[in-house]
Amino acid sequence: DIQMTQSPASLSASLEEIVTITCQASQDIGNWLAWYQQKPGKSPQLLIYGATSLADGVPSRFSGSRSGTQYSLKISRLQVEDPGIYYCLQGYSAPLTFGSGTKLEIK
């Protein structure tokens, strides 16, 4: 199974700050990587797919990048509506696996 190691587990940042969350894949998954945001009591919302493509309706302050088997989600200017838990997902091979999540809070 492909393991997705996500870091940090939690993060506290100030408004307008740049935030970066990373996922390390245990093997090559190409661009088969997606990012999700989940708010309390809600279902996950797609942010990024194909490692770098922005999902419809997602603000442009969110972006995804890849360096080898390391994937990053960047929020360029943290906004008040951005707190939540962020997950990565590898869709390269079954079993599909998620990262363990990053809890993002406003400082």
Partner 1 sequence: EVQLVESGGGLVQPGRSLKLSCAASGFTFSNYYMAWVRQAPKKGLEWVATISTSGSRTYYPDSVKGRFTISRDNAKSSLYLQMNSLKSEDTATYYCARHRAENGYFDYWGQGVMVTVSS
Residues engaged in binding partner 1 (CB under 8 A): 31-32, 34, 36, 42-46, 49-50, 55, 87, 89-92, 94-101
Nearer to partner 1, 15 or 94 (CB): 94
Kindly state the smallest distance separating residue 49's Cβ from partner 1, in Å: 5
CB of 2 to partner 1, least distance (A): 11
How would DSSP label each residue in 23-91?
EEESS--TT-EEEEEE-TTS--EEEEETTTEEPTT--TTEEEEEETTEEEEEESS--TT--EEEEEEE-
Of residues 11 and 46, the one with the C-beta less far from partner 1: 46
- Residues paired with residue 43 on neighbouring β-strands, in sequence order: none
Quick one: which of 13, 14, 54 has its CA closest to 37? 54
- Closest approach, Cβ 17 to partner 1, in A, equals 25
- Judged by beta carbon, residue 75 or residue 88, the one nearer partner 1 is 88
